[in-house]
Amino acid sequence: MDKIKVLVTRRWPAEVEAVLKEKYDVTLNESDKPMTKEEMQKALQEYDCFCPTVTDNVNSEVLSVENKRAKIVASFGVGFNHIDLDAAKKEGLVVTNTPEVLTDCTADLAMSLLLSAARRTGEGERELRAGKWSGWRPTHLRGMRVTGKTLGCIGFGRIAQATADRAHFGFGMKVIFSDPYKPSDEVIKKYDAQHVSIEEVLKNSDFVSIHCPGGESTYHLLNDERIGMMKETAYLINSARGDVIDNDALINALKNKKIAGAGLDVFEGEPELNPAFLELENVVLLPHLGSASIETRIDMGMRVLQNMEAFYNNQEPGDRVV
């Protein structure tokens, strides 16, 4: 029997690619360059399984291509706002993602951003590398003490709770959060947290950390008005999705010291970056590293393989979103 034909849109960890080669007739993206719309359409026509990542724009035009061979879109990543789910459903395609396995690493990264922004470590390293450090002095690069401050989470799912775990038990931080889907009383009690409105999170937090999904319902959730509700001494942290924040509004707030700073791992329109961010000292910028540990990226790939195996054994994939 012929092996199932699989196309992978970007390079995956070698350990995962080895399993793909063993089990499937797989075509890898050796150049690791993003695929065009036309290339993705062709992949859906010529392969049984299409494996994109969160940076591939799998829109309705891609998914509605005629004469499709593919029956499953097995995505590498927890987010799925890069895939038009309505179009996938209409086309009868199964869509899966890779949740849970990246929770701890993304929470670690959120705390790294928080600490780096608060303690101005990026500014310090740039000064040192540029040969401009003149020595220790009492007023040099004073930031905000993190211990005992208030962390406000917008969204309180797995990653937010893991971040709260680190903040509350590691740094004695008070936790408040806003989420349309209230977690269990047991979870709230664990962090001695308060469930409040988005507006209250913004007004009362020293650090506002974004943990909600991207997409139409949260597009520019943090706009000029809402960012304006934050304390002038507060920091905005985003390890979730870039389009949740209005770039222009945030840049204006940082430039005019309406907030103290920000730590960003994701950006609207990435990998394109608004050049105004590069002119600001009070923002920490990272290139979407949330899940970028060796172990987690392997686990994510293996999770894709689990979903594929279930599908091709006529079982329900564990991470099916459509």
Query: Tell me, what's the pLDDT at 2?
Result: 87
Enumerate helices (H) and strands (E) in the chain, giving the number of each.
12, 12
309 is catalytic: no
Tens digits of residue pLDDT in 137-194:
999 999 999 999 999 999 999 999 999 999 999 999 999 999 999 999 999 999 999 9
Measure the CA–CA gap between 238 and 235, rounded to whole angstroms. Answer: 10
* Token pair in block for residue 138: 């009492």
Query: In this predicted model, what pLDDT tens digit does every residue of 223-271 receive, in sequence order?
Result: 999 999 999 999 999 999 999 999 999 999 999 999 999 999 999 999 9
Contacts for 199 with CB less than 8 Å, ≥ 6 apart: 226, 229
Annotation marks residue 123 as catalytic: no
Q: Could you tell me which of 52, 76, 77, 79 has the C-alpha nearest to residue 63?
A: 52
Residue 1, pLDDT > 80, answer: no
Considering the candidates 46, 123, 127, 270, report the single residue annotated as catalytic. Answer: 270
Distance CA 115, CA 272 (A): 25
Report how far Cα 6 is from the mean position of its chain's Cα atoms: 26
Choosing from 82, 241, 297, 303, the catalytic residue is 241
pLDDT in tens, 113-136: 999 999 999 999 999 999 999 999
- For residue 69, what are its two tokens? 């061979």
Average pLDDT score, the chain: 97
Tokens standing for residue 200: 């209250």
Residue 300: its H or E element: helix 294-312
Residue reference for tokens 């010291």: 257
CA distance 79 to 159: 12
Three-class SS state of 149: coil
Rounded Cα distance between 117 and 138, Å, is 19
- 226 catalytic? Reply is no
The structural domains of the chain, ordered by start, are 5-101+294-312 (3.40.50.720), 103-285 (3.40.50.720)
Helix, strand, coil percentages in the chain from 3-state DSSP, rounded to 5? 40, 15, 45
What are 27-66's pLDDT values in tens digits? 999 999 999 999 999 999 999 999 999 999 999 999 999 9
Model confidence pLDDT, tens digit, residues 81-115: 999 999 999 999 999 999 999 999 999 999 999 99
Of residues 82, 100, 74, the one with CA closest to residue 304: 74
